[in-house]
Amino acid sequence: MSTRPPLSLPTRTQIGLSIGALGVVFGDIGTSPLYTMKECLAHLPAGDRTEGVLGVLSLIFWALVLVVCVKYLFFVTKADNQGEGGIFALLALIHTKRDTSARPGLGFAAIMILVGAALLYGDGVITPAITVLSAAEGFINIHAGFHPYVVTIACSILALLFWAQHKGTKRIGGIFGPVMLIWFIVLALLGLWQIVQFPAVLHGLSPLYGLKLLARHPLEIAALLGAVVLAITGAEALYADMGHFGRRYISLAWYGAALPGLALNYFGQGAYVLSHPGAGENPFFMIAPAGVPRLLLIGLSIVAAVIASQALITGAYSLTRQAIQLGYFPRLKINYTNAEHAGQIYVPFVNTLLAFGSILTVALFGSSDRLASAYGIAVTGTMAITTLAFFLVSRRIWAWSLAWATFICGSFLLVDLAFFLANARKLSDGGWFPLAIGAAILAVMQTWKIGRIEIFKRVYGNNVTESELTSIGRSKHVTRVAGSAVFMVGSPEGTPVALLHHVKSNRCLHQTVVLLSILTEEVPSVPVADQLTVREIGEGFWRAVGRYGYMQSPDVAGLMGRIREHGVPINPQTTTYFFNREMIISGGDARMWEWQKSLYALLSRNARPVKDYYQIPPSQIIEIGLPLQL
């Protein structure tokens, strides 16, 4: 179910939710000061350094205002699906107004959303790498002798972080918010301390300085915007994690702690750079007093980097479960790490891929400077796709006028594309890396969805009607044996092939036969009262349909008890479950490329069996082979 909190809550609870949002939602964007200002200064054009620094600060500040405050908090977060946000929530909203008579398949909107989801996986690999590596590089500001060991330190931290995922976040999740609150307070105090010493830096609040910097250096616009965009990486999390805390408390956390802390720290770094013209180190660490305070800042930075990485990792788990439920990803093993919260999950396969990808990224790039060259293109691509999807929602769901929707979304898209095109120059410097990850994930999701559509047509294209099914039940050639059987069927009107094969081979049927369909609705959750419908077909046949949201996981064992309560004579402990075991053969006439057929066959062989996904005791399962040619 959605965990969106109600609006009327005690003040202490509201504060708790806002602090919790700091740890989960703002970890990524909150650690951007570790590397953003350093990268911006590295790409600052030659000329008046004061105007250059003020221009960079102006661009960073107004990027935060326009992208986070205006686009996401004021507009995009209003496009919720029963309180839930995220890329698949937009897909579900768009599909609520689709033409049900249209041929099933992947339309433009679905492909667009899948591209955005795939890019998020690329972001999920590179964000932990650059965040932890930037924090580990802080040791260089203590002593240059740490330089050869930075990569080892970062890889060790990442390895420990991913290893600990199987334990779940129940124990450590409670400290994320308070630690990030301390982090933002420290950011604000360090920045304020430097601003007091050089208050002229506040001139950078004017957007004119940013516009002037871009106008005077048109050839360096791409480099400047490619560095500035690092300040808003993580903005997508505001929308994706909306269901955990609610729009209200995410806004409170942003305006009450995150935005002031970030703004003050960026301007504090700018003040330090302007008051120390010859300084070449990372200004983030240099604004802290030398000695123990700076060492404590490094330690706090590493903790904040781990928290930011944790938010991306758990977000990838949630995204994967949604994709599986909506039929865009093969079934994977999902472990529930907290009996009290269904949203706290661990996906071993995804965790392994993220761990391998992040550690390999650190090893390949070696420094945050080089890694920053690969960062941003996946993030800005996702932002642009979110804007396009929001346009479709505003037109189809909210019935905005074309002029108004084009004006609002066009303004957002102008900013998104400016950042995206600025990052396009990074392709040869490593920007291809997250795009390659996204392309691989997109190929898997698209192939699996199209393959499932083709399989569905072949299994249920020439279906046996319910009247024919009752005739089979009355046939003198079919022996009815005591007991009950459940046949899993993908269509709520269909007859499973496994049943027909069973009757043809064994000439018998159980006295009670339940045709059970598990459907995923394009909503986050389905209330318990609406999850199950049961009706009698006749001759001992019953049809049951279980409906779940894409944020829920099916509970077949629980459904069986509820089916019995509907009057179906069934004993869940002795019932036999029949499944199809698909065996994919290529060479058919399916509308798929040959490489897609081979990929689908590989995915099908390695996907978690349906019987395991539904958590049914193996001793009660019978699988019937079903050769299918694509």
pLDDT, tens digit, 9 for 90 and up, residues 146-166? 889 999 999 999 999 899 888
Task: Give the pLDDT score at 369.
Answer: 84
Helix (H) or strand (E) holding 541: strand 541-549
Q: Which of left, alpha, beta for 47 (phi over 0: left; psi -120 to 50: alpha)?
A: left
Helix (H) or strand (E) holding 623: strand 621-629
DSSP-based helix, strand, coil % in the chain, nearest 5: 65, 10, 25
| Tokens, residue 264 | 């003050």
- List Cβ neighbours of 31 (8 Å cut-off, separation of 6 or more): 131, 134, 135, 301, 304, 305, 308
| Tokens, residue 145 | 């002798």
Distance CA 72, CA 12 (A): 26
Q: Which of left, alpha, beta for 540 (phi over 0: left; psi -120 to 50: alpha)?
A: left
> Under DSSP, is residue 304 helix (H, G, I), strand (E, B) or coil?
helix
Task: Give the pLDDT score at 186.
Answer: 97
List residues bridging with 479 in a β-sheet: 508
Q: Which amino acid is at 234?
A: G
Backbone angles phi, psi at 314, to 5 degrees: -65, -30
Contact 54, 270 (CB under 8 A): yes
Edge-first strand order for the sheet with 541-549 is 532-538, 541-549, 508-521, 479-488, 576-585, 621-629
Task: Give the pLDDT score at 462.
Answer: 59
Q: How far is CA 373 from CA 365, 452, 525, in A?
A: 10, 38, 40
| Domain residue ranges of the chain, discontinuous segments joined by + | 17-451, 463-629
CB crowding 585-620: b at 16 or more within 10 Å, else e: eeeeebebeeebbebbbebbeebeebbebbebeeee
Task: Give the pLDDT score at 1.
Answer: 40
Helix (H) or strand (E) holding 549: strand 541-549
Task: Give the pLDDT score at 619.
Answer: 85
Q: Transcribe 494-528 into DSSP letters.
A: ---HHHHHHHHHH-EEEEEEEEEEEEEESSS---G
Q: How far is CA 346 from CA 420, 483, 512, 604, in A?
A: 32, 37, 37, 22
Q: In this structure, which topology does domain 17-451 adopt according to CATH?
A: Amino acid/polyamine transporter I (1.20.1740)
Residue ranges, the chain, pLDDT below 70: 1-8, 96-106, 169-174, 338-343, 460-463, 611
Task: Give the pLDDT score at 225.
Answer: 93
Output the pTM of the full model.
0.84
- Number of Cβ within 10 Å of residue 52's Cβ equals 23
Task: Give the pLDDT score at 100.
Answer: 43
Q: Which amino acid is at 293?
A: P
pLDDT, tens digit, 9 for 90 and up, residues 338-369? 655 556 788 999 999 999 999 999 999 998 88
Task: Give the pLDDT score at 6.
Answer: 53
